[in-house]
Structure 1
């Protein structure tokens, strides 16, 4: 066998494959060099501490640093998987470490600038993720273009807030609504505004809400801000104002004591001014059932106990139960004439009151302190000569958290043993003659022995009969309490005093001499003479005595 025939032969397919490989190597070594600014496609190979490793078709691999793929979000590296194809721009063809540096953001930036230009011209509102922050504001990447949101244009952070830096940091990673307010590609400057975007969104929402709202509706909203004059409620894009007088049925409450920003509330629509785009709300009218339910349990004439919340020249407001509050008119505070409620009560006082009027349509209650006095004394309340409460029953002290009674400072009060003592004690407690006169009968009837001597005792105290006159029998004196009570109710205090002082003697003389018959005695009426109330008890007593 010759030497030529002994050499191995290479298959034609192998020769072609070897040639292709040589051509490919030549292409990579000669014409495959990367150029700065070139946009090429690459395939993701994996991740490294420096960024993502990308095969760009050259001998060396390329790396996309983390800060060059912000357009994918702060967690953009996790969105790309091995085998994904990406477009990148060459920033540095070769480094000392033997790889190229490429940017995904800058490759997308060409399209991003065009997108931003369109949004700037149209005023479009869009969403973007916050990628970072500094002292001046927020950093945002929009389709590969780095943009900036100044602190003054951040909706949720105030410039004068000392904690502004921490609040900015808390927004990193969040998606916010933005609007392009400045665009300059030559200077690579893009300014965005969250405040402008939200203002436009609220305007659109407010117009929509204004069209939907109707007076009398009850809507759910959230407290957006609290001021000294009221509370602003966000009704889903439109803010309405609930004035201080419309916050609660209770008086003396401040807005900051009742609500906090962010609280969900029910609001009653009082008025919708579409022309001026204003909404008036009421929070207390959104829950009328609380007031109605409480008042439905009350009865006219009922004795209630409440706390004085506010004094006004015309009367005193008293808080009763829950959201229920009533007014004691100045004329219902005391039997005597006063110039201001502070002469009888002060704010914070606990007082017994009589319910005299209910106005459901106006959510008002009329109360009386003076009319409740007799019943309150039976309950254990003690009043001074002016009508002010000076002592309370033990159960009331416990209910309202009043201090315990100081027994050492109060002299023991001796109960009256006779009608005379009962009447004298009543007159001493109350300088008003008619109220004392009426109260005297009630106490005399309870304390006198079998009712004997009541008529004479009352007449003597009131100045209607001499003290040494022979007392009439009990049967004859029975009409006297009724007549005196009738006179007490009919005559004003001033007129009763005048009658007691000047008409007693004349009445006795006329009755004893027969000048005036019982049928001619004036009756109790609204237009009676000034002496009529005082004459009635004395005449009845004398007539009864003569008849017996």
Structure 2
């Protein structure tokens, strides 16, 4: 039967006319060569307790056994993998004896995972991970199928004594150490938390209106002035010229660590809070020249209330 007559017959029978386009996928698959050791990806078309089946766009499907999907002890094939997901794996066998290509995600992780982790480290990528278990001095989690370690000192802003409370929790982390030769991967949640704390402090400082009267506790005395704890992680600098009406040789002449003081906010430039106790005591605007002196002095990086100075009080 000619192609034309076959098409007419198909149409009369409610079918559709087949063309070369209908065979494009099959033709592509027939010319494609898959070898053992290749790292390829496919779409999940079936999920079972024993493993998953992938569509590779090839004449044969691929199977990945459950034990070859992940090393993570908390991994559950039915809960963590769904039809439509894309998985990447290494070809272990071209024929598993049942006409399927056998693959392994675990082997692919060993091949590609370390390169990706290095890239995450260089780009300071924030990753979401699930803590797998508590171990000596920290916890473990898996990234790209590779077991990573989060030290207790890197779990939170403060040191964590009991790491078991983090098991099963999802954390945002950054990669801080990658060493494929030593099979060493170290992650940090603290690094991400510190950045968010900086953003929070920046926002709070930006909301402070110059001229506002604030109250705080003197937390430290320096030759050039006093740092005042304003609460909620914020700290301000009172330049020595803004402590008292009389000229001082050193702040300790009138102030002691722990004193509660009232001060006027002079400025919040560059996320540094400059204060004047003198202006608050006088209930008047600070002298224009002295305000300029305090502003210039507080803007010096070495002595200003930079975010680094502010975070010192947080015991990060």
TM bucket normalised to smaller: 0.3 to 0.5
Which one has a larger percent strand, Structure 1 or Structure 2?
2
TM-score relative to the length of structure 1: 0.30
Larger radius of gyration, structure 1 or 2? 1
Which one has a larger percent helix, Structure 1 or Structure 2?
1
TM-score relative to the length of structure 2: 0.47
Q: Which has the higher contact order (CA 8 A, sep 6+)?
A: 2
